[in-house]
Structure 1
Amino acid sequence: MAFNIDEANPKIYKGEEKDFFGYKVLQFISGKEKGVMVSAPYQKNGSGGICRCAQDRTDCTDCYTPQETDTIKYIGLSMAGQSTSPPTFTACSPGLAHECDGNSYLNSICYQFNSQLQITSNFTPAFQECTKKIVDLVFLFDGSGSMTKDEFDKNKGFIINIMTTLKNSSIKFAAVQFSSIARTVFNFNDYQEGRALTNLWKEKHMSNLTNTHQAIDFLLKNIFENQAAGATADATKVLVIITDGNPSDTDKRFNSINGSDDKNIIRFVIGVKNVDLTKLKSLASKPKENNTFLIQDYDGLKGILDNLQKKIFNIEGSKTALAGNLTKEMSQSGFSAVYDTLVLGSVGSNNWRGSLFETEGQRSEEREIQDPTLDKDSYMGYSVAVGKKNQNLLYFTGAPRSEHMGRILLFNKVNNNWTVAQRLSGEQMGSYFGAELCSVDIDSDGNTDFLLVGAPMFHQPPREGRIYVYTLTDKRNVSVMAQGRFGSSISSLTDLNGDGLKDVAVGAPLEDNHRGAVYIYLGEKLKGIRPEFSQRISAAMMRSKLQFFGQTIDGKMDLGEDGLTDIVVGTRGTVVVLRSRPVLSVSAHLHFHPSEISTDNFDCLAKETISPVVTLTACFNMAEATKSKAVVLSAGMNVSYTLDVDPVRQRSRAFYNDTNKGARSLLSTVELRKERTCFNHSVYMTQCVIDTLSPIIIQLKFSQSQSQQEGCTAILNTDSHTKAVVEVPFEKNCKENETCLAELEVDFNFITSTLLVVDQSYFNVTIRLSNHGDDSYNTSLTLLYPPGLSFSMMHLLKSTRRTVFSCGGLEGEMDRTTCSVSIPVYRSKTTVSDYLDIPVNNAQLDNGNSTNSSLTRTIPVQFAVDLVAKALPQDSTTYMNFTLEDTSPKRLVNVYEVQNLGFNSVPVTVTFTFPTKLEHRFEMKDYEISVLQYCSPEKYCKSIECESFLLEKFLTVTFVLSGNVSFKDLDQHSLSLPKKFTGDRETVNFISFVELGYDKKRYAQTASDPGVSFM
């Protein structure tokens, strides 16, 4: 990703890598002079130096280095500038070493200089003078009879241990034994002349009373105030009392305690065994609780040895092997520096808790700013930044080792005192949260809006380094790349892209195998910086071989003559000046003519042709966002743009080539040299366009030509809206407004009065569709029908205007068919009549209501049936013989079959008709019909009707009519019959009938005769 920092043409200032030239950089303008101040902290064998790199030169030979000395090291480890006229600079060395009584102090020296590298002053902030305190310390040890010789010797050993440990200090020792009297064991002169240990070991045990107050009075007069004994008049006086009993005397006579207080004698009291603690505390100086020790026996003296030695050390004020708290001895003030007033970070102050030192003017009185809640080794002052809110000054400082998580502190001034207003802690151990700070006034209104905090060692594989952006209470973070120490340097930049907001540069000097990189983040009004960087500048892309690129950054001014912000980046041994390029904002607009696409010539039934339907005009407006001094627009910018038609459709309705329907995209590269530049393009369509309801969408996307970005003076603004969209509508035939109101009326009728449901037959319907209103778009006709019917085809009978139907069903929808009508537009004042073929399966129809655009009609439905009844002669009685010899009744059987040859089950009734009496007194008795269904005979009945039953499709049912038949009184009527021996015969014909009955309103016989007779 590249924006407007020119990576291809950097200006390089070379220095010595071994000097670490480029460790800190500061831009400056002084009158007509412009340039860069560069520090080289390892120059001249580590003394350090500051070099001045003028804008009109290619080298930095003008350098200042202090006279080489072993005590001043690393000038330029921190550097700050004040943009006054003329500008003022301060460079500090936090490595000023000096000796004090055999101990090394590490302080700082700062040099103030002007743009010509002329030193105006130097000063040593937070300097710890070698102010050794002469301490006269007297041991007053108990020699009463309550202790044994062994305990007395342990007293001596305790005294010797303390003197041995503190022998290289400025402390002089004396010792007095007391019992009923007090006696000098050795005085200060004896100690300095080496006789103290000998005198102490020779001292005899007095073994008497414990006159403590008398003994104190003795040493006040004979030791502390006696110069002949080696006492120093202005020395700090310390008394260590060792006793195993309560005082035998009182202080009324001697007033020893008040006398000691008057002489500011610091008194430590060690009580051994059973001593009244209250009386012991009365002997000690304030704070009595801290200066009183109580042990059970003399062996306990070893346990309090370290504690007592530290207390004595704090009085003496010099460093020993058992050092106590340090204040300014290792302050290293100037580790970081920033100007408003000059504020210096002092990481080593107060046992490396750290602090800030505020200095106003030249060598004015210093003011130390601390946070007493910090632990030792917090490194407060490692970084420092200054902000303002409503004319109130704010100080920010980092303590990257505080609680191992890192912390930043905000100080504001209350009643002329700097107090901590807020503390914010890091979120990962060892991340060095707070190692780099940058305050940003995003809109240049004089109020600090955001604080950027670097945590360069934040590790979240595979990424390393993180910066946090803080407003009043909100934060968010960005992180990039792996193992790069992202956030090692953070710098607020003067507006780069012309949006009026400050921007930010973040260094990652260890990226790309320690080559380094710089990330540019554009400012954002509400969030400080945008979440994604606008440009990554890699040292690997430079022509020079660079190392640690991004360790320091400054970008607040124009070092050339174009009026644009330039960025200076320090590397090891090299300073790189990167020019910014003018930014052009370009916007695109699309226009078309005519205002609507005419639909008059669209006809899907005509021969396909391709015609231009609209002229598209693409216009580009160009203006400079930055405020460069050059005439940028005339230099021009090459823009590549793409025009897409119907980009979201799978198939486009329009195209840019009159011979290629696939040319839905157009790519062009043009040069822009004016504020407004326009280009025309023709848009084509075929004669058949299905969708004329939804407008044609035309989308333009543009970008600066990639080949031009590297060499062009100007660069396209990343905030430019590089997309334009326009909708080209189709013409609408509407009477009153833009919304067409169609008035659709549908009517249909059946060709036949009854629907006969016969498998594989057709049912015919005529349909009339009229539009009495405006044009109707995407008109469709939906046919709903019951199961058993389906759509076959539609035939156009007549139409007042050319009309096209396209019918089809939806998957899973078995009861409807939708027909599109003259898509896309069913014209106003159009009436069309159609003839519809509907295949018939077995079905039932539903009824409904109608409106002008929805209509339901009913028709009687008859189901076709094919019923057959037939006689079965082979199973029936076809001949019977009666004689005078054989007149007995015989069984007559007629067998019939009833069949359903159709596709529907039918409720049927079967009726049998037969004679019960014939001529010659022939009669039938005991008749019956045997079938699964029950038939009930009646007396003298000639017809029998079986109960109605459901005759399933393709089912055959057999009926058997049987009965006993005979000639009644054949003997009596024999005279009327033919003679027996003549061979004359008479014949009686017995005829029975079967008739099938069914609901003739619902069913219709279509094939066989449902009735049959048997004779």
Structure 2
Amino acid sequence: VGSAFSTTWARKELDSIASDPPRDHVFQVNNFGALDNIQNQLQEKIFAIEGTQTGSSSSFQHEMSQEGFSALLTPDGPVLGDVGSFDWSGGVSLYPPKKASTFINVSQKSGDMHDAYLGYSTDVAIQNRIQGLVLGAPRYQHTGKVVMFRKTTGNWNQWAEVMGAQVSDGEGEVPNRHPGIFPTAGRPPPEHCFWLRHCRCRPLYPWRIGGSQLSPGLRYFGQALSGGQDLTQDGLVDVAVGARGQALLLRSRPVLRVDVSLRFVPPELARAVFDCGEQTVLRREAGEARLCLTVRKSSRDRLDEGDIQSSVTYDLALDPGRLNPRAVFDQTKNRTLRAQQTIGLGENCESVRLLLPECVEESVTPIILRLNFSLLGQPIASSGQLRPVLAEGSQDLFTASLLFEKNCGADSICQDDLNVTFSFSSQQTLVVGTSPDLSVTVTVRNEGEDSYGTMVTFSYPPGLSLRRVSVLQNPRQPRAPRLTCESTRPRSSSCSISHPIFREGAEATFLVTFDVPPTADFGSTLLLSANATSDNIPKMKNAFFQKELPVRYGINVVISSGEQSTSYLNFSASEEKSSHVLQHQYHVNNLGLRSLNVTVTFRIPVELNGLPVWTKAEVVPPQVPSAPDTFLPPPPPPGNCSIAVCRVIQCPIASFQVREELTFTLQGSLSFGWVGQTKQKRLSVLSSATLSFDTERFAQFPGQEGFLTAQTKTVVERYEIYNPLLLIVSSSLGGLVLLALLTAGLYKVGPHLRFPPFLCPPPPAQVSISTASPQSPPSPFPLHVSSTALPTVPCLSLSHPAPLTLSPCPRSARILQAAVQGHDGSGSSRC
């Protein structure tokens, strides 16, 4: 402040005191008021103190580095630990001779290194003549971490790291300098232990030595470490570990490796050994398995090889993972064998015999023999009871395979010849809706050599689904083939036959059942195909077979007479020339699961012997368009409507929907003039309705065919009106005449004579008109006429030159039929 330091030498003195560069840290002002600006600049440069950082404060770089916290001499120069650099992330400074220093730390991308204290401890590791720096970070994430750096292309890069595993373990002590061993890591309390890690930097430590393993009273075990020297003169490196009040020497153990040889004698099972034909129990020898273990040392030491002994325990298993093993050990009669023996260095071999307990059906995959062993070193008396140990990472699981001989002829190439056929079991037509399933009988034959992985694939249209498969017994092959089927893709199913080998000359017959949904639509025919394939190489021509089955669809349409129909009409003699309204009602229902086109055909009597019967007949109301009327005149017998002329009305129903109901009403005028021709007082008038559809595509449900036709009947009755006066006069006159005749007769004959027997006249003729006819089925429109005896006609003589022809009507167009029975002169009756 002021001009006190305006001279040159005074200014230099201030520059020497201030931090570099002086221009940023020396300010000259004329009064103390100008210090406010300087204060603001200083506030922006205030460094954050440990534990008091804020979001707006800057970070330390090397201002609080504490360089020299740890020190190490390396071939590249001295290394000083900078635990406080970059907010106490830490690092080290390497000072090569005659070169600028190099700062080594973790990449800035690792933002979690704050407060890690990297460089707390340092050491050097050498492997394959490559030097590495090992730095400890004991406060990393409160668990500790050891980081290794390697020099590549002139730069130091992070190569590996080892994480701590527990809170406050403080890992980071790395005082080992032995080439080939990754430095040991010591942990102060609370664990009182240390680790030994191999130079390859595995993520997990192979050895963990705790103080409680050695002595319960040890404290701070692992606080100080020293290694890399052979203090016991056995050629193995020893490690000295410090604890509170004492030091311990830990010896290295000799390392062993085991080479395993596992093979079968003979290496392949002959077909005559495992193929037992129709037998089920075999009990044949399958050769032997030979096991050899070769033990050798992998550590460099001065121990006598003859003193090294190990106890080896091994477990053998045949066909592991299979439910039923194909081979067993002769010694145990089981699939497993466990043995233990003490062996030294060198080769040690043993043989075990094998048996085949049952017939081998699956001979494609070899028999697997699995070996699992463990090694426990025996104490070496000449070396202070040291125990050898199996090398870390040694393989202890081995397998061997016993192959089966194939039946492939002299060229050892199996060439099968598959043939597949099928038939629809007792089905000529598939009726969808009435047939819930479709059964197919399939036959597969192998006329060549053994077929491996034989499979039959069925292809079928959408809608079908595989329900079940059952094997049919073949008398030529007592042993039924194995069959496994599954539907892996839509519209197809695959069945493996006698997996994995379908033998030469074998035949398999099985029944495949498919589900047929009642709403499925397959068109007019169903196409089913079968393709037989195998895994044989080279591939032979695949066997293919296909067949079509006609398809119809089940329906259930019914027609019935309605309750609103006219059931009874009567008239008198004076009303014969009049008419009355007649109404016949029909209901049509679709009770099935499909819509279809249906035609309703009505037949009604309209004329009899030239006289009208039913006039002005029509469908009321016309719910569907009707076809033009058709009149059927009476053809010669036995034609339709032989007595009356029938009117045919057809009503097509387009797309008759499911659960839909339609009502048809036949309405017209019924005349009575034709009734007098029958000489009957009571008769019936019938109409009929018939449902028709495309019989090539649809079929009525079984047992429901009778509901395709319905009839409606109206009873017509004629009644007489009597005059009582005429009856009284006639009766009186007749009585007087009879009395006079009786009186005259008695007078002439006399009272003492016996009267002769009264001669009764022959019975009067019976006249009936009915629908029955012995030559043909009943008419759909029968006219029933019945009468009492005709008192004035003893016999009805049919002497008309053109006698009344009474032939029956077919069911579709009947209306009237009459039969007259009487007596001729000879006393015989005729119609």
| SS of the residue 2:547 aligns to | coil
Q: Does 1:491 align with 2:176?
A: yes
Amino acid in structure 2 at the alignment position of 1:541: Q
Residue matched to 1:420: 101
Amino acid in structure 1 at the alignment position of 2:605: P
Please give the alpha-carbon distance, in whole angstroms, between the structure 2 residues aligned to 1:764 and 1:291: 108
Q: Is the 8 A contact 1:489 1:507 kept in 2?
A: yes
Amino acid in structure 1 at the alignment position of 2:372: K
Trace 1:828-847 onto structure 2 (pairs within 5 A).
828-836=504-512, 842=518, 843-845=520-522, 846-847=526-527
Match of 1:675 among 324, 331, 346: 346
Q: Does 1:705 align with 2:376?
A: yes
Offset at residue 585 of structure 1 (A):
1.1
Please give the alpha-carbon distance, in whole angstroms, between the structure 1 residues aligned to 2:607 and 2:661: 31
Match of 2:196 among 512, 516, 520: 520
Q: Does 1:578 align with 2:256?
A: no
Amino acid in structure 1 at the alignment position of 2:157: T
Please give the alpha-carbon distance, in whole angstroms, between the structure 1 residues aligned to 2:420 and 2:435: 28
| SS of the residue 2:212 aligns to | helix
Offset at residue 474 of structure 1 (A):
2.2
Q: Is the 8 A contact 1:640 1:670 kept in 2?
A: yes
Please give the alpha-carbon distance, in whole angstroms, between the structure 2 residues aligned to 1:297 and 1:934: 119
Q: Is the 8 A contact 2:70 2:122 kept in 1?
A: no
Please give the alpha-carbon distance, in whole angstroms, between the structure 2 residues aligned to 1:296 and 1:924: 137
Residue matched to 1:101: none
Offset at residue 418 of structure 1 (A):
5.8
Aligned-residue Cα RMSD (Å) equals 4.8
Trace 1:589-738 onto structure 2 (pairs within 5 A).
589-596=261-268, 601=274, 607=280, 613=286, 615-632=288-305, 635-645=308-318, 649=321, 651=323, 653=325, 656=328, 666-682=337-353, 687=358, 692-705=363-376, 713-734=387-408
Residue matched to 1:95: none
Offset at residue 920 of structure 1 (A):
6.1
Q: Is the 8 A contact 2:318 2:335 kept in 1?
A: yes
Match of 1:891 among 559, 581, 589: 581
| SS of the residue 2:182 aligns to | strand
Amino acid in structure 2 at the alignment position of 1:1001: E
Please give the alpha-carbon distance, in whole angstroms, between the structure 2 residues aligned to 1:738 and 1:397: 74
Residue matched to 1:746: 420
Match of 2:697 among 984, 996, 1002: 1002
Residues 794, 888 of structure 1: CA spacing in aligned structure 2 closer, same or farther, 3 A cutoff?
A: same
Amino acid in structure 1 at the alignment position of 2:182: V
Q: Does 1:945 align with 2:650?
A: yes
Residue matched to 2:503: 827
Offset at residue 926 of structure 1 (A):
0.7
Please give the alpha-carbon distance, in whole angstroms, between the structure 1 residues aligned to 2:430 and 2:64: 104
Offset at residue 827 of structure 1 (A):
1.9
Q: Does 1:756 align with 2:431?
A: yes
Residues 646, 505 of structure 1: CA spacing in aligned structure 2 closer, same or farther, 3 A cutoff?
A: farther
Q: Does 1:478 align with 2:185?
A: no
Please give the alpha-carbon distance, in whole angstroms, between the structure 2 residues aligned to 1:965 and 1:276: 147
Trace 1:85-484 onto structure 2 (pairs within 5 A).
277=6, 280-281=7-8, 378-380=66-68, 382-387=70-75, 394-400=77-83, 404-413=88-97, 417=98, 419-424=100-105, 431-443=116-128, 447-455=129-137, 457-461=138-142, 463-464=143-144, 466-471=146-151, 472-480=156-164, 483-484=168-169
Residue matched to 1:935: 626
Amino acid in structure 2 at the alignment position of 1:532: L
Please give the alpha-carbon distance, in whole angstroms, between the structure 2 residues aligned to 1:995 and 1:754: 25
Offset at residue 577 of structure 1 (A):
2.9
| SS of the residue 1:449 aligns to | strand
| SS of the residue 1:491 aligns to | coil
Q: Is the 8 A contact 1:900 1:956 kept in 2?
A: yes
Residue matched to 1:217: none
Offset at residue 295 of structure 1 (A):
10
Residues 652, 622 of structure 1: CA spacing in aligned structure 2 closer, same or farther, 3 A cutoff?
A: farther
Q: Is the 8 A contact 1:624 1:633 kept in 2?
A: no
Residue matched to 2:240: 568
| 1:127-166: CA deviation from partner (whole Å, max 9, x where unpaired) | xxxxxxxxxxxxxxxxxxxxxxxxxxxxxxxxxxxxxxxx
Q: Does 1:775 align with 2:454?
A: no
| 1:638-694: CA deviation from partner (whole Å, max 9, x where unpaired) | 1233345555x4746457567999x66544333222422233345666637676544
Offset at residue 715 of structure 1 (A):
1.6
Q: Is the 8 A contact 2:259 2:295 kept in 1?
A: yes
Please give the alpha-carbon distance, in whole angstroms, between the structure 2 residues aligned to 1:841 and 1:530: 63
Q: Does 1:540 align with 2:231?
A: no
Residues 555, 849 of structure 1: CA spacing in aligned structure 2 closer, same or farther, 3 A cutoff?
A: same
Q: Is the 8 A contact 1:790 1:815 kept in 2?
A: no
Match of 1:504 among 150, 161, 182: 182
Offset at residue 918 of structure 1 (A):
0.8
Unaligned runs of 5+ in 2: 19-25, 33-60, 532-541, 633-646, 711-779, 783-831
Offset at residue 624 of structure 1 (A):
0.9
Identical-residue share of aligned pairs (%): 22
Offset at residue 380 of structure 1 (A):
2.5
| Structure 2 length-normalised TM | 0.63
Amino acid in structure 2 at the alignment position of 1:826: F
Please give the alpha-carbon distance, in whole angstroms, between the structure 2 residues aligned to 1:719 and 1:766: 59
Offset at residue 490 of structure 1 (A):
1.6
| SS of the residue 2:267 aligns to | coil
Residue matched to 2:743: none
Please give the alpha-carbon distance, in whole angstroms, between the structure 1 residues aligned to 2:463 and 2:548: 15
Please give the alpha-carbon distance, in whole angstroms, between the structure 2 residues aligned to 1:668 and 1:542: 33
Amino acid in structure 2 at the alignment position of 1:510: P
| SS of the residue 1:907 aligns to | strand
Residue matched to 2:597: 907
Amino acid in structure 2 at the alignment position of 1:806: L
Amino acid in structure 2 at the alignment position of 1:618: L
Q: Is the 8 A contact 2:125 2:183 kept in 1?
A: no
Residue matched to 2:440: 765
Please give the alpha-carbon distance, in whole angstroms, between the structure 2 residues aligned to 1:374 and 1:790: 79
Offset at residue 929 of structure 1 (A):
3.0
Amino acid in structure 2 at the alignment position of 1:517: C
Q: Does 1:962 align with 2:700?
A: no
Amino acid in structure 2 at the alignment position of 1:770: R
Residue matched to 1:21: none
| Structure 1 length-normalised TM | 0.53
Offset at residue 503 of structure 1 (A):
0.9
Q: Is the 8 A contact 2:305 2:345 kept in 1?
A: no
Residues 905, 543 of structure 1: CA spacing in aligned structure 2 closer, same or farther, 3 A cutoff?
A: closer
| SS of the residue 1:541 aligns to | helix
Q: Is the 8 A contact 1:493 1:554 kept in 2?
A: no
Residues 945, 377 of structure 1: CA spacing in aligned structure 2 closer, same or farther, 3 A cutoff?
A: closer
| SS of the residue 2:72 aligns to | strand
Please give the alpha-carbon distance, in whole angstroms, between the structure 2 residues aligned to 1:862 and 1:275: 122
Residues 553, 273 of structure 1: CA spacing in aligned structure 2 closer, same or farther, 3 A cutoff?
A: closer
Amino acid in structure 1 at the alignment position of 2:184: V
| SS of the residue 1:559 aligns to | coil
Residues 285, 742 of structure 1: CA spacing in aligned structure 2 closer, same or farther, 3 A cutoff?
A: same
| SS of the residue 2:472 aligns to | strand
Of stretches 906-915 and 536-545 in structure 1, the one that deviates more from structure 2 is 536-545
Residues 294, 617 of structure 1: CA spacing in aligned structure 2 closer, same or farther, 3 A cutoff?
A: closer
Residues 998, 597 of structure 1: CA spacing in aligned structure 2 closer, same or farther, 3 A cutoff?
A: farther
Offset at residue 635 of structure 1 (A):
2.7
Offset at residue 857 of structure 1 (A):
2.2
